[in-house]
Structure 1
Amino acid sequence: MSTCKKILPLIDLSVPPSLLTGGIFAVEAILERCCGLDVHRDTVVACLLTGSLDSRPKKEIRTFSTMSKGLHELLEWLTEANCSHIAMESTGVYWKPVYHVLEGSMNIKLANAQRIKNVPGRKTDIADSEWIAKLLRSGLIEGSFVPPADIRELRELTRHRKKLVSHASAEKNRIQKVLESGGIKLSSVISDVFGVSGRALLQQIMADGCLNQDVVESLVKGTIKKKLPQLMDALSGALCKRQTMHTF
């Protein structure tokens, strides 16, 4: 006889019990003024909620451009409304310019989009910005950590440098393969093909391909001069014009 196991629904333990039973309005408000932002590529929809903690807040929704002028208009509007607490989702990269403009002027919570969607009690017809604002007003948004501006800049530079180093390594490997395919075995004689001597030889190959002993001896430096016979043997291969044009 087969038996079926009953699968129990997952419960988000971070959600207050009162919210699970009574919906979002069962949770006490903690902010009299707050704003939820729904950020898109070209626009940001802002929902401003104002009012006493023991009553339903007044709602005002406006749409701003994500151009610099529009974002500063958003900042001016929030400042005039004495709104110091805002929240928005951390999806994609569209939140970054908004964050940069508002940073330092107000308290910003960058919310995890998945967690916001999983909070129960949302009506189907409510706008994203309004839902974010209501969650913020009730203290139900846990902000993600955003490091200070100088640390963010350092992170971006570090990531960019890592990509450049990776691209450079890939390009060096590609050049090595082309040289090997043409019978030029520099790496068998020179430990660093892209060092001073190696680069000089590569530039000569790219220029006119003339690699007689006098030319090679004038290009290499240091102890590599002692390996001149082996080096001439390693350079005895040849690259076709297409390989020379598209390799270096």
Structure 2
Amino acid sequence: MAHAKPIDVVLPVACGVDVHKRFIVAVLCDATDPLHPVYHKKRFSTFTCSLREFRDWLLSYDCRHVCMESTGQYWRPVFNILELAMEFGLSGKTERKGLEDESFFFRAI
């Protein structure tokens, strides 16, 4: 049996977030060991106190990179809570002036 070749890890810890109106679902991948990545999945409400818990959860894993998928304007409260602590991207249909429906952007710290 051949040994698995580790992938080139660009971001050792990152999180993908699906943003809904009343809740978000986050999957954090810790690939500090590329041969044995660890996944953590958690659901949070979109109330401010829960979004702060989400931010603290990310920081507890030293996660500074987040990619959100959202439609409409549901991403805005999440953005407001994370913007000072994270680098992140947004994908999906958005309601922002001057951008195509299918848009993607990054914000650096």
TM bucket by the smaller chain? 0.7 to 0.9
2: distance between equivalents of 1:111 and 1:53? 27
- Secondary structure class of the residue paired with 1:100: helix
Q: Select which of 98, 105, 109 maps to 1:144.
A: 105
What CA RMSD, in Å, does the superposition of the two structures yield over aligned residues?
A: 2.3
Runs of 4+ residues over 3 Å off in structure 1? none
Counterpart position of 1:236:
none
Counterpart position of 1:196:
none
Task: Report the Cα offset of residue 89 of structure 1.
Answer: 1.7
2: distance between equivalents of 1:54 and 1:48? 14
1:72 aligns with 2:52: yes
**Kept in 2: contact 1:32–1:50 (CA 8 A):** yes
Kindly provide the CA deviation profile for residues 43-94 of structure 1, in whole angstroms up to 9, marking residues without a partner as x: 0001010023632410000000100111000011111110000001242110
**Kept in 2: contact 1:30–1:53 (CA 8 A):** no
2: distance between equivalents of 1:99 and 1:106? 9
Greater percentage in strand: 2
1: distance between equivalents of 2:10 and 2:47? 32
**Kept in 1: contact 2:68–2:90 (CA 8 A):** yes
- Secondary structure class of the residue paired with 1:71: helix
Kindly provide the CA deviation profile for residues 65-124 of structure 1, in whole angstroms up to 9, marking residues without a partner as x: 1001110000111111100000012421100100010001011111246xxxxxxxxxxx
Q: Write the letter of the residue equivalent to 1:31.
A: L
Q: What TM-score does the superposition give when structure 2 sets the normalisation length? A: 0.75
1: distance between equivalents of 2:78 and 2:48? 9
Distance change in 2, residues 1:112/1:53 (3 Å): farther
- Secondary structure class of the residue paired with 1:54: coil
Larger Rg: 1
1:98-113 equivalences in 2 (<5 Å): 98-112=78-92
Q: Write the letter of the residue equivalent to 1:62.
A: K
Q: Select which of 54, 72, 78 maps to 1:92.
A: 72
**Kept in 2: contact 1:29–1:53 (CA 8 A):** no
Structure 2 residues not aligned, in runs of 5+: 1-6, 94-102
- Secondary structure class of the residue paired with 2:10: coil
2: distance between equivalents of 1:67 and 1:54? 34
2: distance between equivalents of 1:75 and 1:54? 24
Task: Report the Cα offset of residue 145 of structure 1.
Answer: 5.5
Greater percentage in helix: 1
Q: What TM-score does the superposition give when structure 1 sets the normalisation length? A: 0.34
Task: Report the Cα offset of residue 28 of structure 1.
Answer: 3.6
| % same residue | 36
1:34 aligns with 2:14: yes
